[in-house]
A and B are shown apart, each in its own frame.
Chain A
Amino acid sequence: MNGVTNGQAAVAGDAGRLAGEPLLSVRGLTKHFPVRQGLRARGAVRAVDGLDFDVRPGETLGLVGESGCGKTTTGRMLVRLLEPTSGSIMFAGRDITHGGRRELRALRQDLQIIFQDPYASLNPRHTVGRIVAMPLQVNRITPPGGVKKRVQELLELVGLNPEHYNRYPHEFSGGQRQRIGIARALALKPKLIVADEPVSALDVSIQAQVINLLRDLQRDLDLAFVFIAHDLAVIRHFCHRVAVMYLGKIVEIGDRDTIYTRPQHPYTRALLSAIPDVTTLGPAGRIRLTGDVPTPLNPPSGCRFRTRCWKATDHCATEEPALTTRDDGGQLTACHYPESGPVGVPTGEPGSNERT
């Protein structure tokens, strides 16, 4: 497996940027879901296929990609709701890749998750007070001043009325429910929060409220975040670093400004140009990708993006590009023919393989 070489490259590329021990360190992380037909195994969905990245204390890493790229599976493995097929997850110096229930319970005090759907992630028969207090009870923690006081502090922290302690989730709007989910994640004072599309189910005006809240909490409490989203504009407003995923692999990872102003991977460029932006009227300079994401049951050989890439050659089909520094860029890119120059000036001829 070339996950090892990728891992070393990732460490080398990141080393210059920030000193200090990473809080979370992921190497060669892989998750394959077996597909069975009757009793016989029929292969595996390679949902996540060899990820390497680090998150330092107080840092926010954005995981972005289209549906089916493995970003949610990654998030679930990080908090160990799923067990990785191979690879390793180190959290605060401890290997948590295959930890059992008992071990994980202690771990989850420092590692929490916020779910996407604020309607499905709260128990409708529990009061808000009970929902937010649950992490404390499970870990048999009695905070100074009592559980109720702590819960009310948390509700206030996320901008809810502490008097609403006794209400049920159905009495709250979508944005308020997401705040309840955030309060629950904060109850144990975690060091790292995995946020899985925390704002994509919300209306735009409410979305901005929740993004601002998460940003304030991140700064005030010095939390580290792995922020999973499909929306590059949301990621840009929240994350220090960004990892772009495609079909279970990271294709580009680097500082926010590098990724958004000088992306090297053609997929990152296409993704950026596909976002309809309010600041431009009319369809201007869009890179048209044709076709859909291939199935992770049988991903393309070599570079996985080559079937939709306008720069692909035979070389891309035979050799998989390693995630490494290319052309003195500030980021790591997995592409044989990286783009250069600032975004908005596509160097290739994206229109050449259009079907229309």
Chain B
Amino acid sequence: MTELKLPSLDYAALAPILIMLGTALLGVLVEAFVPRRSRHVVQLTLALLAVLAALTMVVFNADDRIITAGQALAVDGPTLFLQGAILVLAAMALLLIGDRSVERGGAFVAQAAVTAESADDRRQAEGRNGLTEVYPLVTFAIGGMLIFVAANDLLTMFIALEVFSLPLYLLCALARRRRLLSQEAAMKYFLLGAYASAFFLFGVALIYGFTAGMPGRTAGVDFATINAAVTESPASPVLLFAGMALLSIGLLFKAAAAPFHVWTPDVYQGAPTPVTGFMAACTKVAAFGALLRVFHVAFVDASWDFTPVLGAIAVLTMLVGAVLAVTQTDIKRLLAYSSIANAGYLLVGVLAPSRDGLSGTMFYLVAYGFSVLAAFAVVTLVRDADGEATHLSRWAGLGRRSPFFAGLFTFILLAFAGIPLTSGFTSKFAIFGPALEEGQAWLVIAGVLTSMVLAFPYLRVVVMMWLSEPGESTPTVTVPGGLTSAALMIGVLATLVLGVAPAPLLDLAAGAAEFVR
């Protein structure tokens, strides 16, 4: 029997991942053994504590620049920065998920197996407490994301992708109201996600084939091997490029880049709003973390070849996001298209292969995550008897009804539109500046033009909120309890602070902006 040699594991460096996955397992046990009444509190506390502990470990590891677990995981500057970002944003998302003051029983269905639209369903919608299984699911997803941004070979990356995607599919189906829409969204997300995973996996196979046959090296899908293969492999480059294309499709699907964005509006609209916020903030960080590592580490020497293609995708993404946002009539779909356009901007950052480009992209991810979570937090508050009122016509005159929340939302929209003194401005600056320096002027021009188009739908909402008279059907804004308020205020404050004094976070990102290879 051949002896199996265990790779050495740096447990401290892996601690954030282990904490999240361990807590998720613990959460499953809590579901089984803790009485129903106290589950919600226990689960929420547990999840938040885990996030806090993981974040502490990330800070504790701040100086790590290592590859551990064989070649599987890299714990370096970008990993730690992005893990920190995911954890902070996930903590905010957990606050939204855990809120039960805005809607009695929370935003999640009480019994997922009840037929939608039946009498039982209506009864459960009236305020029975929501499922608490969401917390282990979210914790699993966070754990998967933490692995995803640290993954240093394609197989680990694939596993991580599945680990965080599967809970998200489920979470999407758990909305308390409009359950058919929610279930449909989950179904679509699942089918298309599986479809995209297949592309990814096929890409991995092709890349593996490409790395075979190098003198003095074994074939493999870890990034160091791929990196070496790009310049040394005797295999046909068709394998490399077909593989690269298929891989990027899998990743761009998660990042919601065109033309792989089609699922985004439907899923964002159907999913429970806190989950939408979680996806818009954290999934984006994870997906771009992986994109950055794949293209900056593994394929960096082929950058001349992939830049035109990814650049075209970036422009297409910005265009699709911006143009389609113009005619949206539902606030969640509008935010979905805005998130698509932002994926385009982020791709511009990915294509600026400098330290500044990397740090700018990471800064953008954090800034955007805070703003988008705050935006979805406001969306949860505008509601009538049937739940959230997401149709834009219902938001008319909201400024008169609730000037405070309308003011906050206006501020967030201005941030999305990139007005100075908001993080939207500084983060766009942080991305477009390096791109310009790296000679990607065409991407920057496309970015600026599409942000002008995109400003229109944002400002239309602002105008509608403030300059229209409130109608009969204008809903009121529910005054939120502590959890949602906290998430909202953190998001708004971060948007402001990162717009006024971005230097500390930019410095932090710049200090972290180097991959280990």
Are both chains from one complex?
A: no
User: A residues within 8 Å of B by Cβ?
Assistant: none
User: B residues within 8 Å of A by Cβ?
Assistant: none
